[in-house]
Amino acid sequence: MKIEVNARGSREYYDEFLYIVPRYRQYQKNLRKKTHRLTHYLTVYEVLAFVVGALNAFFYYLNGNVIHLVMACMLGLMLVIYLRYHFTVGRQIKAYLNEKGNKEIEINEEYIGFRDDSKDIRLKWDELSGIVMGKYGLCFLPKDQTGILISVSKEYMGEVMQGLKEIGKEDLITEK
């Protein structure tokens, strides 16, 4: 079964995919692990670093204890790093949203494949540890550590589920 992917995924879909990518080893161990949006995850850490850093700066102002100043500076640096990462993620999502070209998902008895103008990726079913179902899409996780992930947005989830049922691989899907 071949599925033409004409519509681009939503901002939330790419945000969720970028959350899964660096954590896919954790997902291999526990496919039921909850998925989040990466920007929400980063926002929580930014607010936490800001609040705790501001409290340490306030305590330094009250007590003059150097440890509070050191902690405030370290948390300020962490805040800058998180903000930079947040903006980098935003640019990456924007790049994904602006991608042009024809994309195709292929599901058959031997493998699941993804093809676009520049790449042709195939994951054999015996090389797959499972399929993570998130709120905004599906992500196919390989057993090995190649870093190759195939992801499908929720707009095409029905067609992918139908293809998986046709070949008897729907048991690989992990629902939360």
18: β partners = none
Strands 137-142 and 103-107 come out as: unpaired
* Model confidence pLDDT, tens digit, residues 3-32: 888 777 888 999 998 998 888 888 888 888
96 contacts 14 by C-beta, under 8 angstroms: yes
Beta-carbon-side half-sphere exposure of residue 72 (alpha carbons within 13 Å): 14
Strand order in the sheet with 111-115: 2-5, 103-107, 111-115, 120-124
- Which residue's entry shows tokens 């090995």? 144
111: β partners = 124
Say which amino acid occupies 102: N
Report the first-to-last Cα separation within the chain, whole angstroms. Answer: 26
| Measured distance CA(139)–CA(92) in Å, rounded | 18
80 contacts 103 by C-beta, under 8 angstroms: no
Q: By mean pLDDT, which of 34-38, 70-74, 165-169 is the weakest?
A: 165-169
Closest CA to 106 of 167, 15, 17: 167
* Model confidence pLDDT, tens digit, residues 136-174: 888 888 888 766 888 888 888 888 888 888 888 777 777
Does the pTM surpass 0.85? The reply is no
